[in-house]
């Protein structure tokens, strides 16, 4: 099919407006990246024909070498947007070892502005196509609005949800060329000039060289990350480090001739020359955030260990640039963690974020640690929920921070004067910022912007490959005994709890407040919903009736998380986030009792009410702890298989003889059944294309629900920082 790039294409209930680069479904815009849009257009214009992978690479990335995995990623994103299934495709067929073919019937329609030139004497044929091709007036005038819920997967790791609205402007002054990019929104609500550098959704970590010539960024495919190097002047890209394990941090050397990076499994700091060659290991056990001194001779980094009690310990260390002569300056025990170290320009001290990010409140401050004797000094009175990254402005006159004040907000960029410590917000709006890096003169910088999609899918456990997407939902959810679903959603613009039938009907909002209401659990007698909320400043356990009425707080004191309810509906189990010990409180409230004096998270009581299972730690190893119903020392310790437990739920089978949980297997995430008698672990469902956040089975064991989706991270170039 020859290119008809000024036409509209229709298939099923989708319309592609190629001149305006819009994909519509039933007249409403569908979120899709520019490269995915280009891929779809190529396939649709070649409908019925196999488009070879090499042809796709040449058309999508002319004169640039890219890995074949990039094509697979674009196809994956297209299938998400179209609701297509790789196993039983309706639109895009995979032709093994060759390429892809568009299967659906495609109708080519001239756009409205072109139809005005059609011979109007043929009234029978001119009026109807004109009406069919008409697109909403808001799209014709100023682009379009896409309402894409910005969700989170868990209370702790994926916190900070809000309703994400992408507004794509078609003004001639936009720094982004085309497409639905996060940068175009931020540019409209930011004091900074932003230019989109990537549009794959794969690039969280990024760094810019001190002279501003190069940008290093990660690209993640199938849970393996490569590091790419872009020369900004020539706009050329080369792969510097091939795909291996996960990447946790990037930074150029002061001279700009080396790139330092942290890679996992096992986690360590490496250095690689920009001219290529194998990476060199610098130090073991380095957390993702590290800093290189202005003179380039010292590095500062955080090391995390787990003590015999299963508690995390953090230490701030320095070393020579080659990793020699390690020296510990400061340490601390969870929940007060250290993060984002940054050398002062004179090399006399290191700035760090310090505090607790798991309690749902503003507990993180900025401290200065002497590089000589490790003495700590508080710098600011302002508190944050989290500080993700920091970088110096020119001449040490201030810093730029990627941080969020409150859990329910998005990360924004901030300017902090130094040493005056006056805080100014540089960006605002609905885009969240993650990684950050500036040139030595602070004239340019790079940052990664992040979005998250998450939906609730439901179907039978006997056919987990045919689940139906029901509604937007984020993170944890649960079934009620009468077969309804209680879930957390940002449909109201805030993280509230909702209830619905399993087919999505009868949706009702249960909580209405400005806080985050998450992690619901329904009592087996179907009377109460127990949940976590930070409406009083920190995460506490709350209870309400099944219809949302009579909301009362069950716990006080330090933050709480990870809920379970006893089969007789009398007790609520939970963890305290400062030490992850196990506690319980009566469903009617009252004084809580501590059940363990050791790490025992993710509690779940067996249906026969005789045992409690928790996740335990012995040093860095994790295991299942089988406890008596009254708590105390474990009756058994069950080794977790090589495939890691992931997610935030351990579920008993109805006969109390096995555990069901999510297992990460170096790529796909599986839901598995683990017999406690030592039998073989059985795979119940496999999710290979999308991230899986939570799962739950209905009380009768017939229906499976999952929240699934994915994070999308892209890089923007920042200028006008001096303004």
Dihedral (CA of 548, 454, 355, 621) sign? positive
Mean pLDDT of 139-164: 30
State which of 25-29, 264-268, 672-676, 718-722 shows the largest mean pLDDT.
672-676
Fold topology of 462-701: Neuraminidase (2.120.10)
User: Is 1.10.10.10 the CATH classification of the domain at 8-142?
Assistant: yes
pLDDT of residue 68: 65
- Asked if 264 and 248 count as a contact pair (C-beta separation under 8 A), the reply is yes
- Give the residue with greater pLDDT, 260 vs 68: 260
pLDDT of residue 548: 94
pLDDT at 121 over 70: no
Euclidean distance between the first and the last CA atom of the chain, given in angstroms as a whole number: 50
- Asked if 629 and 656 count as a contact pair (C-beta separation under 8 A), the reply is no
pTM of the model: 0.70
- Asked if 558 and 539 count as a contact pair (C-beta separation under 8 A), the reply is no
Measured CA distances, 274 to 283, 298, 440 (Å): 20, 20, 18
Mean pLDDT of 682-695: 85
Distance CA 423, CA 400 (A): 10
Q: What phi, psi does 178 have (nearest 5°)?
A: -145, 170
Contact residues for 535 (Cβ-Cβ < 8 A; gap 6+): 513, 514, 515, 517, 542
- Give the residue with greater pLDDT, 142 vs 83: 83
pLDDT of residue 208: 97
Count of helices and strands (H, E) across the chain: 7, 56
Contact residues for 678 (Cβ-Cβ < 8 A; gap 6+): none
pLDDT at 537 over 50: yes
State which of 415-424, 489-498, 618-627 shows the largest mean pLDDT.
415-424
Summary mean pLDDT of the chain: 82
- Give the residue with greater pLDDT, 662 vs 168: 662
Distance CA 569, CA 109 (A): 60
pLDDT at 133 over 80: no
pLDDT of residue 120: 31
Distance CA 358, CA 72 (A): 36
Fold topology of 164-452+712-719: Methylamine Dehydrogenase; Chain H (2.130.10)
pLDDT at 415 over 50: yes
Where are the chain's structural domains? 8-142, 164-452+712-719, 462-701
Six-digit token pair at 376?
A: 């700590």
**For the segment 271-311, what is each residue's pLDDT rounded down to a tens digit?**
999 988 899 999 998 887 899 999 999 999 999 887 777 77
Which of the four pLDDT bands, split at 50, 70 and 90, describes residue 399? very high
Count of residues for the chain? Answer: 723
């Amino acid at each position: 099919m020859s290119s008809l790039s000024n036409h509209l294409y229709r298939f099923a209930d989708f319309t592609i407006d190629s001149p305006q680069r819009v994909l519509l479904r039933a007249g409403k815009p569908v979120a899709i990246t520019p490269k995915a849009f280009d891929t779809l257009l190529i396939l649709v214009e070649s409908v019925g024909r196999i488009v070879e992978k090499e042809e796709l690479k040449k058309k999508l990335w002319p004169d640039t070498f890219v890995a074949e995995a990039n094509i697979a990623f674009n196809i994956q994103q297209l299938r998400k947007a179209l609701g297509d299934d790789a196993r039983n495709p309706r639109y895009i067929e995979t032709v093994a070892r060759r390429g892809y073919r568009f299967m659906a019937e495609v109708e080519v329609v001239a756009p409205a502005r072109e139809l005005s030139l059609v011979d109007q004497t043929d009234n029978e044929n001119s009026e109807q196509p004109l009406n069919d091709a008409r697109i909403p007036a808001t799209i014709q005038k100023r682009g379009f609005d896409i309402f894409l819920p910005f969700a989170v997967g868990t209370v702790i790791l994926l916190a900070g949800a809000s309703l994400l609205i992408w507004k794509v402007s078609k003004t001639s002054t936009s720094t982004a060329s085309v497409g639905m990019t996060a940068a175009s929104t931020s540019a409209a609500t930011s004091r900074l000039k932003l230019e989109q550098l990537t549009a794959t959704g794969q690039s969280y970590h990024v760094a810019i060289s001190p002279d501003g010539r190069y940008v290093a960024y990660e690209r993640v495919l199938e849970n393996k990350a490569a590091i790419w190097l872009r020369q900004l002047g020539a706009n050329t890209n080369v792969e510097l480090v091939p795909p291996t394990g996960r990447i946790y941090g990037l930074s150029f050397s002061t001279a700009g001739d080396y790139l330092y990076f942290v890679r996992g499994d096992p986690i360590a700091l490496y250095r690689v020359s920009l001219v290529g060659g194998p990476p060199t290991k610098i130090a073991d056990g380095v957390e993702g955030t590290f800093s290189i001194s202005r003179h380039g001779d010292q590095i500062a980094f955080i090391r995390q260990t787990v003590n015999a009690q299963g508690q995390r310990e953090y230490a701030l260390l320095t070393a020579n640039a080659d990793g020699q002569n390690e020296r510990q300056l400061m340490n601390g025990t969870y929940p007060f963690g250290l993060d984002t170290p940054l050398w002062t320009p004179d090399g006399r001290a290191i700035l760090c974020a310090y505090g607790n990010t798991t309690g749902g409140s503003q507990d993180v401050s900025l401290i200065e640690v002497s590089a000589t004797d490790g003495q700590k000094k508080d710098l600011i009175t302002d508190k944050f929920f989290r500080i993700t990254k920091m970088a110096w402005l020119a001449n040490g006159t201030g810093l730029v921070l990627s941080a969020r004040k409150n859990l329910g907000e998005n990360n924004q960029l901030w300017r902090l004067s130094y040493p005056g410590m006056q805080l100014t917000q540089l960006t605002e709006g609905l885009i969240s910022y993650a990684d950050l890096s500036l040139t030595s003169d602070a004239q340019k910088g790079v940052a990664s912007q992040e979005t998250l999609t998450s939906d609730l899918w439901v179907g039978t456990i006997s056919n987990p490959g045919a689940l139906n997407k029901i509604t937007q939902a984020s993170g944890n959810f649960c079934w009620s005994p009468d077969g309804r679903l209680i879930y957390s959603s940002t449909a109201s613009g805030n993280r509230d709890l909702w209830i619905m039938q399993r087919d999505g009907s009868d949706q009702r909002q249960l909580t209405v407040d400005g806080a985050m209401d998450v992690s619901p659990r329904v009592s087996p007698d179907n009377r109460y919903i127990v949940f976590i909320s930070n409406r009083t400043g920190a995460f506490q356990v709350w209870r309400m009736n099944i219809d949302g009425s009579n909301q009362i707080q069950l716990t006080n004191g330090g933050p709480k998380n990870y809920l379970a309810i006893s089969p007789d509906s009398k007790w609520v189990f939970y963890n305290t986030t400062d030490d992850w010990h196990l506690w319980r409180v009566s469903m009617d409230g009252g004084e809580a009792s501590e059940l363990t004096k050791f790490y025992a998270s993710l509690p779940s009581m067996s249906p026969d009410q005789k045992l409690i299972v928790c996740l335990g730690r012995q040093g860095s190893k994790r295991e299942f702890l089988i406890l008596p119903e009254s708590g105390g020392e474990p009756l058994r310790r069950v080794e977790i298989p090589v495939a890691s437990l992931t997610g935030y739920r351990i579920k008993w089978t109805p006969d109390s003889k096995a555990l069901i949980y999510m297992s990460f297997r170096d790529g796909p995430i599986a839901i598995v059944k683990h017999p406690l008698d030592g039998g073989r672990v059985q795979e119940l469902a496999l999710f290979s294309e999308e991230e899986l956040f939570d799962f739950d089975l209905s009380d009768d064991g017939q229906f499976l629900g999952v929240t699934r989706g994915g994070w999308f991270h892209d890089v923007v170039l920042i200028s006008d920082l001096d303004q």
